[in-house]
Structure 1
Amino acid sequence: MQYPSIHINLITHNPCPPMVFDLLNKKAKLRVLEDAKGQVQIVGLREEEVNSVDCVLKLLQHGAHIRTSGQTSANQHSSRSHAVFQLILKKQSTGKIHGKFSLIDLAGNERGVDTSSSDRHTRMEGAEINKSLLALKECIRALGRRGAHLPFRASKLTQVLRDSFIGDRSRTCMIAMISPGMSSCEHTLNTLRYADR
């Protein structure tokens, strides 16, 4: 019996400016396109074949190290981009995709108060992060209304995630990070409402 080979890719979506970068290829700029069948293609995306957990962890650490991050008044190490990590099972004989497992770090919603003391660029990044999270929320809402138009083209993030939502065999789970502090109560409730969609 021939087992599927496991490939990995790792991309980051910087909302401001709205670009997609390959974290396994020195942050090379990538284009997100749709083919004739309506499938999302990320042109030039590098894939690495992996054969051990150590190899997967090493690539994840590499991606996290070069991913865009910054400092806000709320967080010393704040993600300033979304990150998509995918494990892809391919049939060795044909190269056909057998399955795909995606982990996505959405970078978190930013309140104005969190970035009020930050520079203009950081505030713009926060606004763009919120804009792409809103686009994702609209896609999730549309999926709940059977037959509704799915606005995946509203952001690069939702374009990249499109395959995770459509198809009979697709399953999606959201894990929300919340703060235990009383000062973050309203923000925590908003995060839980978002995850509950």
Structure 2
Amino acid sequence: MIAQFELAVLAKLAWAGAPIGGGESLLGYKYQTLESYPDDWGAYFEDEKVAARPPAAWVTFDGFTGGEEQASGAIRYSARFWLVVAAKNLRNETATRHGGSGEPGSYQLATDAVALLAGQTLGLDIDRIAIPQIREVSRTDALRKRKLSLYAVQLVTAMTVDPLSVDDGDLAPFETFHANWDIPAFGGVGPDLPDDAAADATDNLSLEGDQS
């Protein structure tokens, strides 16, 4: 479900940027980069080809909190994600945020994302998306060099993790515990586990009563 959510967010942004009936798109601009969050953020923006493709957006999972067990045995979690949007403008730093005619700035990208995603489920079995905060991504030297402005939009929802089904109908009762022990002299631990013939000691424990 985590990956599905990320892909659904990116698909929503792509849909909103696609032309309608051959005319303008809902947003009035098209995202040039829509990806999952890069592994190395610093190195990512050192790449001229990557940094030259705004408007851009990346989404990443930030973790689960507050798991509650359901009657079915599933766990319902609050799930946090971040959507990072980026705008570029060669004029000046203010223009990267404010934008211009036909040039969306980072403020518009962030607020448009809120308008598109707040209260949505994206066709998934999740709670409606809440957006509790938007914050600026600190401008590194690489971002300044590329004339980029980034904002992070927090997306909060809830999703269920279903239990794994284990069929133990064919398992025999647990009646005997058998273990071989490697007893090294003064900590000289060997890498291999001993078999029955080479074990320094062996334990066999039989359990009494019904262990099924």
Please report the TM-score for the alignment, with normalisation by the length of structure 2: 0.30
Structure that is richer in helix per residue: 1
Larger Rg: 2
Please report the TM-score for the alignment, with normalisation by the length of structure 1: 0.32
